[in-house]
A and B are shown apart, each in its own frame.
Chain A
Amino acid sequence: MSGTLRLERVSIALEGRMLIPPFSASIPPGQVVTLMGPSGSGKSTLLSFLGGTIAAAFRAAGRVWIGEREVTEELPERRRIGILFQDDLLFPHLSVGENLAFGLRPRVRGRTLRAARVEAALDEAGLAGFAARDPATLSGGQRARVALLRLLLAEPEALLLDEPFNKLDTVLRADFRRFVFGHAVAAGLPVLMVTHDRADAEAANGPVLELGTSADGAPEISAACVPPAIDAVRAAVPSGEIRSPSEKGAVG
């Protein structure tokens, strides 16, 4: 069981220009929070900061917690934060099964047991018997499902979605959304999704934050919608913290 994913006054700047203004959010297990924003607004950079792989050119501030564990300074591979990208990034030199086994935690020991776990995962995705296949022979939707399963087999404690539905066509997209959200909720993971597609946000059925531009041109984050059904969520931020052009210098 994972804990709540908490972002504490997280902000990102590039060359002195604020991309993501300081904001805080807290996402309990099984909850999907969506951050909406246009392309190039720094959403993906925010996820790479949370995942620990942010490029050196960016200046990021703030703290990140999973439950009682602070991961801000942790190495990416120790954070146990999984990111699902737009590209499936299945490793081309490994079979579908080997890709999944690569993700499966090593404490599942023994070749038979590991193979069984991989086969069970494939079964779940409607891909039974695909273990020996070359990922290149799979359809886009199948590859996307394998990518998610590989991530889940690594037992992350939080899931970040970086526009993972973007490259799929409309029909597949709805399917894969259900697949992702279903698995994430079943695994009890806090999920943060960034997207520019409103349909993604609606399907997530959770609080939506919008990254936009305030009247004076500075970026701002506002709570676009918090479905009343989910009152446990305290995703949005006290208004005083949202707009802070004066803090630019301090952050950058």
Chain B
Amino acid sequence: MTRATALEAMPRSAPVWGRSRSWLRYAPWVTVTLFLAPIAAGLLGTVLPAFGWLPAIGGRRFTLAPWSRLFSAPGIGDAIALTVGTGLLATVLSVLLVFGLCAQIHGRKPGRAGRGLMAPILAAPHAAMAIGVGFLIAPSGWVVRLLSPWLTGWHQPPDIATVQDPYGIALMLGLLVKEVPYLLLMTFTALGQVPAARQLEAAAMLGYGRTVAWLKLVLPQIYPQIRLPIYAVLAYALSVVDMSLILGPSNPPTLSVLALRWFTAPDIRMYFPAAAAALLQLAIVLASIMLWRAGEAAVAHLGRRWIARGVRHTSLAALTRIAAAAVAGLAGLGLASLIALGVWSFADGWPFPGFLPRHWSAHTWTRQFSMVVWPLETTLVVAVLASALALLLVLACLENEQRGGRATTSRALWLLYVPLLVPQIAFLFGAQVLLTVIHLDGSLLAVIWTHLLFVLPYVFLSLAEPWRALDTRYARTASCLGTSPRRVFLRIKLPLLLRPVLVAVAIGLAVSVDQYLPTLFAGAGRVVTLTTEAVTLASGGDRRITGVFALLQSLIPLAAYALAIGTPARYQFHRRQPRGEA
């Protein structure tokens, strides 16, 4: 009998814990079903039409016609190259910048000011950030206005494609602005689990400067923990739709935008090549992740040789400085983009070379009020319900895990990442077909459900660590006093973990507000949120109105974060180290 089966054979729980587990036991199964069933069904609903099968619109035999239609589309080669190029390059650059910055500051955690500056960029939805970046770098945007006419000599906006450029540079810039802070956050979290300070000190005693020592010692140890977030960024960058619509080229666009265009084409037969394109998108993401994995192995091999050579100094030091400066630049760009949204929404008359509007007014806000209220309400309802549902499921799973005494395995963690790794376009169409079958398409419930797929992993990832880190002796002490597990949960654990719970909810809200494609598909065009409106307006609409929607969209998660972080922490997780040893 192996040790694992011996454990299985033992009674699962101590007497105190065992009684009220009946329904909790099903929590993981309910969660996984709610969570993975739509994705599995959605993938199937994409695979079948990609090979010609969709009886509802007359596809009743398997054929490769959708694929020949896909590959004969004009500019398809460029679209694929653009997708792969921008996705891989944006991810490689993000990762290099994050590692470079961390090596430069050798993993010191950012202070309050640094975290405070990063929070708005992390909280802002991708669409709003893309709109803001567009406001900055457009030919008539803030950057050109700052330099005109005194430096550029321009009195008219120049005729240069700085946004939606054919090489996807603007798109990559937008991705960098959002993904670098996210990866930084993940890296700082991982750093908490390595005694980096002691190891850097030991390396200094061997003659290593901190930058080199960080790269050789700390980075290899934390990489396994940030691998999945990196893959999520890679998958996102390869298949993003909203940012690509706003900042990416339109002819040809990236593959996922092309698929969306075909899915929403008036000619219903375009579903077939659209499904093929969505499937190709999935293949590209999977192949890229495998390529990345191979790259990891190669870098690890070379890295080991580099470590064993004993080199103390390196010209990389100059590069890490550049990386640190670039990250600071991106952060500035991100913040300026959010400010630009506000400035434009209050602008009233703003002729070109002027750096600031000639007049300020709240006209746009008051005039758009009636247009804004309905999407705002929908956005809030969906976000609140999806986050609440996710929180309930996550708490049930965590509580079940603690009462059952079984930790979630790393394989389960991969399950959690499935919705973040599978391109949205690859299963949302199929999921919509499923929703039609059960007559839920276009309903608020359907939108909430699809949002849940993306909200749940983030709520879980954010809450699991503090929940597990809570000293179990509090709960045990309470149990010894005769408190029921339910009361322990309500009166001990929840109050102690109030802040992490609220932070998790804030993250859930932010993720929900971020969703463009899921809203579009599950809502069947009938559920309109700030996000869908902002993306629609961004293509050619009035910048002032777009600014109103995008700013409002950003303010929801920001307000939620501010409230969550403002809650006093009852329980200190990382006690300060004794003086002098820090």
Residues of A within 8 A of B (CB): 14, 45, 48, 51-53, 55, 57-58, 75-78, 80-83, 85, 87, 89, 91-94, 97-98, 101-106, 108, 111, 114, 150-151, 154, 156
Contact check, A53 vs B221: say whether CB atoms are below 8 A apart: no
> Which stretch from B55-63, B305-313, B433-441, B457-465 is at the chain A interface?
B305-313
List 24 A-B residue pairs with CB atoms under 8 Å apart, sorted by A's residue number: A14-B579, A14-B580, A45-B580, A51-B205, A53-B204, A76-B205, A77-B209, A77-B210, A81-B205, A82-B206, A89-B198, A91-B199, A91-B217, A93-B217, A97-B308, A98-B304, A101-B307, A105-B310, A106-B309, A111-B308, A114-B308, A150-B206, A154-B206, A156-B205
Knowing A14-B580, A87-B198, A102-B216 are in contact, say whether A154-B304 is a contact too (CB < 8 A): no
Contact bitstring B191-214, A, C-beta under 8 A = 1, else 0: 000000011011111111110000
User: Is the C-beta of B159 less than 8 angstroms from some C-beta in chain A?
Assistant: no
**A-side contacts of B198, CB under 8 Å:** 87, 89
Closest A-B pairs by Cβ, 8 of them: A76-B204, A101-B308, A154-B206, A89-B202, A106-B310, A93-B220, A77-B204, A104-B310
**Distance to closest chain B CB from A162 (angstroms):** 10
Closest partner residue, chain B, to A97 (CB atom)? B308
- Listed residue (A87, A91, A93) with the most chain B CB atoms within 10 angstroms of its CB: A93
Given A82-B206, A92-B221, 16 extra CB contacts under 8 A = A53-B201, A55-B581, A55-B582, A76-B204, A82-B205, A89-B199, A89-B202, A91-B199, A91-B217, A91-B221, A94-B307, A101-B310, A102-B308, A111-B305, A114-B310, A151-B206
CB-defined contacts of B199 to chain A, threshold 8 Å: 89, 91
**What does the 1/0 interface line of B447-467 toward A look like (CB < 8 Å)?**
000000000000000000000
Name A155's closest neighbour in chain B (CB-CB): B207
Q: Is the CB of B307 within 8 A of A77?
A: no
Mask, B161-204, CB within 8 Å of A = 1, is: 00000000000000000000000000000000000001101111
Number of interface residues of B (CB under 8 A): 28
Chain B 209-264 interface residues, beta-carbon cutoff 8 Å to A: 209-210, 216-217, 220-221
User: Chain A residues near B217 (CB, 8 Å)?
Assistant: 91, 93
Closest Cβ neighbor of A58 among chain B residues: B580
Report the bound CA distance from A218 to B187 in whole Å: 45
Q: Are B579 and A154 in contact (CB under 8 A)?
A: no
Per a CB cutoff under 8 Å, which of B207, B216, B581 touches A77? Answer: B207
Knowing A51-B204, A76-B204, A91-B217, the reply to whether A114 touches B309 (Cβ < 8 A) is yes
A55–B580 touching, CB < 8 Å: yes
Chain B nearest Cβ from A211, distance in angstroms = 16
Taken together as a complex, chains A and B put the C-alpha atoms of A48 and B310 apart, in Å, by 23
Return chain A residues, CB-CB under 8 Å to B582: 55
Instruction: Give the contacts of B266-305 with A (CB-CB under 8 A).
Output: 304-305
Q: Which residue of B lies closest to A98 (CB)?
A: B308
- Closest CB of chain A to B212's CB: distance in Å? 9
Q: Which residues of B contact A87 (CB under 8 A)?
A: 198
Minimum C-beta distance from B550 to chain A (A): 43
| Residues of chain A within 8 A of B310, CB atoms compared | 101-106, 108, 114
CA distance A87 to B202 in the complex (A): 10
CA gap between A58 and B210 in the complex, in Å: 21
Closest CB of chain A to B335's CB: distance in Å?
A: 30
Kindly identify which residue among A48, A53, A57, A104 contacts B579, using a CB–CB cutoff of 8 Å.
A57
Q: Write the chain A residue with the least CB distance to B308.
A: A101
B307 close to A98 (CB less than 8 A): yes
How far, in angstroms, from A151 to B204 measured CA to CA in the complex?
11
Q: CA of A106 to CA of B309 in the docked complex: distance in angstroms?
A: 6
Task: Report the Cα distance A94→B303, complex, angstroms.
Answer: 11
Q: Are B202 and A78 in contact (CB under 8 A)?
A: no
Residue of B nearest to A89 (CB): B202
CA of A250 to CA of B84 in the docked complex: distance in angstroms? 65
Residue contact A52 to B304, C-beta cutoff 8 Å = no
Q: How far is the CA of A209 from the CA of B210 in the complex (A)?
A: 33
For A111, the chain B residues whose CB sits under 8 A away are 305, 308
CA distance A150 to B205 in the complex (A): 10
Residues of A within 8 A of B309 (CB): 101, 106, 114
Instruction: Give the one of B304, B308, B309, B311 with max A CB within 10 A.
Output: B308
Docked-complex contact A85 and B204, CB < 8 angstroms = no
What is the minimal beta-carbon distance from B111 to any residue of chain A, in angstroms?
14
- The answer to whether B204 and A52 have CB atoms under 8 Å apart is yes
The 8 Å CB contact of A154, one of B207, B308, B581, is B207
Residues on B with C-beta less than 8 A from A102 are 203, 206, 216, 307-308, 310
Bound complex: CA A38 to CA B474 (Å)? 35
Most buried by A among B217, B305, B309: B309
Q: What's the nearest-Cβ distance from chain B to residue A131, in Å?
A: 10
Q: How far is the CA of A87 from the CA of B197 in the complex (A)?
A: 14
